[in-house]
Amino acid sequence: MAQKSVYRRQLAARLRELREESDLTLTDVAEDVEVSPGALSRIENGDRGTSPVLVKALLDRYGTQDPAVREDVLDLVRADQAQKRPWWRKYAAVVNTTQYGGFLALESGASAIRSYEALWMPGLLQTEEYARSVIGELRTDLTSRQVDTLVKVRMQRQQLLEGDGAPKLWVVIDEAALRRRVGGESVMLGQLERLVQVCDHPQITVQLLPFDAGVHAGLYGAFVLMDFPQPTPQVVWVESLTNSVCFESSKDIDRYAETFDQLRALAVGPPETRRRFQEAIRELSQ
């Protein structure tokens, strides 16, 4: 599923806002800048990109003369164009066929990520060995080379959590993921040790949802909530065996956000989560 870049979503909203403030219709503007109303509509919906030349013409037509406002809008155009050449482009042969590109485009621009995982560890926290075991077993339709490519992408994704501008990550992991043996004892030990390490990361909060929490809404399946810089709205990403769905309506966002709040309330706190990871390491080492 192709997804609009974060910058394109921001640009679309800003251009629509400026046009409406000028009391102009799409037809009015199209006649003056010699672009079809349909093309302008697609730009305002974020369905297509545009160029600095056209945007300058639109800003002139809207009477937007403030240099700071004009530069902010043009920065969004440039950023959207730059995101057409993302770091994962060299893996496009595999990423595009696995519906992964849309997720990466959104994740790379997120300011905060909330993730619930029911069956395995979150991709952003997986070790390379754990990731290879999960991807290899889940994607039996891929060749070993394609599996290796997706493992490389997953490892490179984790660089998102480091450096300036890193998003805040809050994950709730069901105990089923903790108890499921993936890749053998050594792989699981390495994965559990990795989780203990990330518990100390200033930008990451990890909570374990124990079995004794009983039945809860998370049993419907895993999901990822992503927040973006204003005014870009949140999205929810949900994956299944054959496709991925990106929800953008406020009704859907609110439902998933409420569910995440319920899950983290049921989960044990970060200190107890860390202790349970360490206990699992001891049990596995015996």
In a domain, 51, yes or no: yes
> Checking DSSP bridges between strand 235-239 and strand 112-117, what pairing results, if any?
unpaired
Both tokens of residue 245?
A: 């769905």
3-class state of residue 193 by DSSP? helix
Both tokens of residue 280?
A: 């699992």
Per-residue pLDDT of the chain (286 residues; tens, 9 = 90+): 445 667 788 888 889 999 999 999 999 898 888 888 898 898 888 888 888 888 999 999 999 999 888 988 888 887 777 666 555 566 665 665 556 667 887 888 888 999 999 999 999 999 999 999 999 998 888 889 999 999 999 999 999 898 778 899 999 999 999 999 999 899 999 999 999 999 999 999 999 999 999 999 998 999 999 998 776 788 899 887 777 788 888 899 999 999 999 999 999 999 999 999 999 999 998 8
CATH of the domain at 276: 3.30.870
Comparing CA positions, the residue from 22, 19, 52, 51 lying closest to residue 37 is: 19
pLDDT given for residue 155 in this prediction: 93
For residue 71, what are the domain limits? 6-82
Comparing CA positions, the residue from 94, 74, 234 lying closest to residue 154 is: 94
Instruction: Indicate whether 258 and 139 sit together in one domain.
Output: yes
What's the domain count of the chain? Answer: 2
pLDDT given for residue 92 in this prediction: 60
Instruction: Indicate whether 14 and 133 sit together in one domain.
Output: no
In a domain, 213, yes or no: yes
Instruction: Indicate whether 219 and 138 sit together in one domain.
Output: yes
pTM of the predicted structure, to 2 decimals: 0.72
- Up-side HSE of residue 99: CA atoms within 13 Å toward CB? 12
Instruction: Indicate whether 235 and 263 sit together in one domain.
Output: yes
